[in-house]
C-alpha cells in the first residue's frame, strides 16, 4: 500500500497537466495509465494523429498549391497510406516521449495497469481514497491518496445498430489502421471528426460521401462559415447529404451495402463518427456514488469536483466540448482547487474552437445567430482571403474572416475564420474579446504585410462601412 497526495487515472492531456500541476507545487503524485504508452487517446489515436494526417496530406498532395504551381505528387493508394502512417507514428512517438519526460521531470510515479476506485477511509487528517491497480499479469497494487483525478478520456460511441464487427466499418480510431486509400469512403456524421476525415480523404483522392442527419455541417459554427466549408468540400469532390439518416449497413458478396433513403451506396469503407463516450467502465464509480450519465460523462461542479468530495474529473470524461485545450486547463483548475494552490481558480470563459478540416475552421465567442438570439443589435464585417496578399502568394485563397460585433458601441462579440492557419489566427480575436475590445483595435493595429492576420483590419473596415450604411438608411 503506497501513499500519495494525488493519484491520477489516465495520462492524456488532462492527466498529464493535472499531475504536473500538483507535482510542481510539491505534492506527491502517481499516474495510472492502462495503455503501454502515455499520452492517452488524444496522442495515440485521435487528436494528434488526425492533425498529423491532415498536414501530411497537404504536403503529399500539394492541396491548394497545385493550382498555383501546376505540380503535385501522385502516389499509389497503398503508398499514400504507408507514408501517412509512418508520419503519424513518428509524431505520436515524439509526443508520447515528451509526456513521459514531463512526468520524470516532475517526479511523478507512473504505473501501467487497470485502475479501480476502492473504499474511502476516514482519518484524523481527512478522507483517504484508495485506487487498486491491476497489471497485465493480474498483480494488484493499492494506492492511497488525499485526492483523485479521473482523466480517463473518451472513446468513439458505438450505436448498437452499426456493425462495427465488419472489417470495413470503422470508428475514428480504427480508420487510422486502414492499409490502402479507399476508392470510396462514406462518412456518417457531420460533426468535427466526420468533417475532418471527409475533407482529408477527399483531398487525398477518395470519392467521399458524407451523411448527416443535421441540416448544416458542423452546426456549432456560424452559419456562414458552415456553408462556406461545405461548399469548399464539395469543390474538392465530396458529396454531402444533409438531413439524411443511414437506414441500414449490411454486407453481401460484393461488399458493403449502405442504404440512405432511396439511394444505395457501395463504399469500400465506412467511417461512423457518431460522437464519443466517457471511459468509465470498471472504475467502480457507482459503488462510491460518483455520478455519470448514460454516455459515461462524469458530473462535476465549477471546480471539477465530482459528487464525491476529494474525487475530481477533467477532460473528455466530463463530456463536451471535447477539446484537449479545455482538458488541460480544466485539470489545472481542478488541482488548484484540490490543494488550495493560489494559481488558477477558474476556466477561461472565452475558449477558441479549432477544427482541422481542409481548409481549417476556428471560432471564438458568439456566432451571429447566437448574438441575435441574445437580443444584441448585431453587425458583421468580412474579409475574404481571395483579396489577401499572403493568401494569394501561397495559393490558399479559400475562406474568410468574419467579425460579429455590437452595433451600438462596436464591441467585438465573436470571430469566425475559414482558411489556412485559422486555428492560429483566432487567438488575435480571443485577446480582443478578453479585453472587451472594439473592432477599431484591428484598424488601429499595424499588422505585418503580407500576412493573413492583415485580414482582420479589412474585416473591421467592412464592419464600419456596414454601420455607416445603416446610419444613411436610418
Average pLDDT in the 203-215 region? 94
Pick the CATH number of 2-156+277-338 from 3.30.200.20, 3.40.50.720, 3.50.50.60, 2.60.40.10: 3.50.50.60
**Residue 352: pLDDT above 80?**
yes
60-79 pLDDT, tens per residue?
A: 777 655 556 665 556 666 67
pLDDT score for 123: 80
CA–CA gap between residue 294 and residue 152 (Å, rounded): 16
Confidence band, pLDDT 50/70/90 cuts, at residue 51:
confident
Least confident span in 28-37, 68-77, 264-273, 447-456: 68-77
pLDDT score for 78: 65
Q: Compute the mean pLDDT over every residue in the chain, rounded to the nearest whole number.
A: 92
Confidence band, pLDDT 50/70/90 cuts, at residue 473:
confident
Considering the entire predicted model, what is its pTM?
0.92
100-125 pLDDT, tens per residue?
A: 999 999 999 999 999 999 998 888 77
Equal fold, 169-274 vs 359-473: no
224-273 pLDDT, tens per residue?
A: 999 999 999 999 999 999 999 999 999 999 999 999 999 999 999 999 99
pLDDT score for 69: 62
Residue 335: closest CA among 303, 306, 290, 307: 303
CA–CA gap between residue 331 and residue 148 (Å, rounded): 11
CA–CA gap between residue 86 and residue 68 (Å, rounded): 28
CA–CA gap between residue 81 and residue 78 (Å, rounded): 5
pLDDT score for 428: 98
373-413 pLDDT, tens per residue?
A: 999 999 999 999 999 999 999 888 999 999 999 999 999 99
Q: How many other CB atoms are there within 10 angstroms of residue 436's CB atom?
A: 9
CA–CA gap between residue 330 and residue 345 (Å, rounded): 10
325-339 pLDDT, tens per residue?
A: 999 999 999 999 999
Pick the CATH number of 169-274 from 3.50.50.60, 3.40.50.1000, 3.90.550.10, 3.30.70.141: 3.50.50.60
Q: Phi and psi for 114 in degrees, rounded to 5?
A: -90, 135
Domain edges within the chain: 2-156+277-338, 169-274, 359-473
The topology under which CATH files domain 359-473 is Enolase-like; domain 1 (3.30.390)
Where do we find the cell 512517438?
Answer: 93
pLDDT score for 56: 81
Where do we find the cell 500576412?
Answer: 451
Q: How many other CB atoms are there within 10 angstroms of residue 373's CB atom?
A: 11
pLDDT score for 102: 93
Confidence band, pLDDT 50/70/90 cuts, at residue 454:
very high
Cβ within 8 Å of residue 13, ≥6 positions away:
40, 42, 315, 324, 325, 327, 328, 331
Q: How many other CB atoms are there within 10 angstroms of residue 427's CB atom?
A: 13
Beta-bridge partner residues of 31: 8, 110
C-alpha distances in Å from residue 48, one per residue of 80, 91, 93 = 19, 8, 11
Are 126 and 145 a contacting pair, CB within 8 Å? no
Q: Is the peptide bond before 424 cis (omega within 30 degrees of 0)?
A: no
**Residue 94: pLDDT above 70?**
yes
Amino acid at each position: 500500500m503506497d501513499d500519495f497526495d494525488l493519484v491520477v487515472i489516465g495520462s492524456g492531456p488532462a492527466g498529464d497537466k493535472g499531475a504536473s500541476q500538483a507535482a510542481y507545487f510539491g505534492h506527491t503524485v502517481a499516474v495510472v495509465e492502462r495503455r503501454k504508452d502515455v499520452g492517452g487517446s488524444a496522442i495515440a489515436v485521435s487528436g494528434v494523429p488526425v492533425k498529423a494526417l491532415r498536414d501530411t496530406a497537404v504536403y503529399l498532395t500539394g492541396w491548394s498549391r497545385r493550382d498555383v504551381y501546376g505540380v503535385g505528387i501522385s502516389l499509389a493508394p497503398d503508398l499514400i497510406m504507408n507514408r501517412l502512417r509512418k508520419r503519424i507514428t513518428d509524431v505520436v512517438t515524439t509526443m508520447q516521449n515528451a509526456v513521459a519526460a514531463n512526468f520524470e521531470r516532475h517526479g511523478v510515479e507512473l504505473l501501467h495497469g487497470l485502475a479501480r476506485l476502492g473504499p474511502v477511509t476516514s482519518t484524523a487528517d481527512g478522507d483517504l481514497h484508495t485506487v487498486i491497480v491491476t497489471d497485465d499479469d493480474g498483480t494488484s497494487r493499492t494506492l492511497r491518496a488525499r485526492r483523485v483525478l479521473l482523466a480517463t478520456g473518451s472513446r468513439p460511441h458505438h450505436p448498437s445498430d452499426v456493425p462495427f464487427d465488419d472489417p470495413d466499418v470503422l470508428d475514428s480510431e480504427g480508420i487510422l489502421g486502414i492499409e490502402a486509400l479507399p476508392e470510396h469512403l462514406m462518412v456518417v456524421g457531420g460533426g468535427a471528426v466526420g468533417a475532418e476525415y471527409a475533407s482529408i480523404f477527399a483531398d487525398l483522392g477518395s470519392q467521399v460521401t458524407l451523411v448527416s442527419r443535421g441540416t448544416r455541417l458542423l452546426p456549432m459554427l456560424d452559419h456562414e462559415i458552415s456553408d462556406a466549408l461545405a461548399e469548399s468540400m464539395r469543390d474538392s469532390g465530396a458529396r454531402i447529404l444533409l438531413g439524411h439518416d443511414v437506414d441500414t449497413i449490411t454486407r453481401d458478396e460484393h461488399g458493403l451495402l449502405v442504404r440512405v433513403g432511396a439511394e444505395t451506396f457501395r463504399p469500400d469503407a465506412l467511417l461512423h463518427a457518431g460522437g464519443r463516450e466517457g471511459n468509465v467502465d470498471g472504475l467502480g464509480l457507482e459503488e462510491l456514488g460518483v455520478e455519470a450519465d448514460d454516455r459515461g460523462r462524469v458530473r462535476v461542479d465549477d471546480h471539477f469536483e465530482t459528487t464525491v468530495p476529494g474525487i475530481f474529473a477533467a477532460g473528455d470524461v466530463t463530456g463536451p466540448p471535447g477539446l484537449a485545450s479545455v482538458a488541460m486547463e480544466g485539470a489545472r483548475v481542478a488541482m488548484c482547487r484540490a490543494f488550495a494552490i493560489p494559481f488558477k481558480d477558474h476556466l477561461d470563459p472565452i475558449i477558441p474552437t479549432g477544427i482541422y478540416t481542409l481548409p481549417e475552421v476556428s471560432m471564438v465567442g458568439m456566432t451571429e445567430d447566437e448574438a441575435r438570439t441574445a437580443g444584441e443589435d448585431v453587425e458583421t464585417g468580412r474579409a475574404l482571403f481571395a483579396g489577401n496578399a499572403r493568401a494569394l502568394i501561397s495559393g490558399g485563397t479559400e475562406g474568410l474572416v468574419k467579425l460579429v460585433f455590437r452595433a451600438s458601441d462596436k464591441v467585438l462579440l465573436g470571430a469566425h475564420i475559414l482558411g489556412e492557419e485559422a486555428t492560429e489566427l483566432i487567438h488575435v480575436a480571443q485577446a480582443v474579446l478578453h479585453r472587451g475590445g472594439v473592432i477599431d483595435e484591428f484598424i488601429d493595429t499595424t499588422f505585418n504585410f503580407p500576412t493573413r492576420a492583415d485580414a482582420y483590419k479589412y474585416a473591421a473596415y467592412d464592419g464600419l462601412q456596414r454601420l455607416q450604411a445603416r446610419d444613411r438608411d436610418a
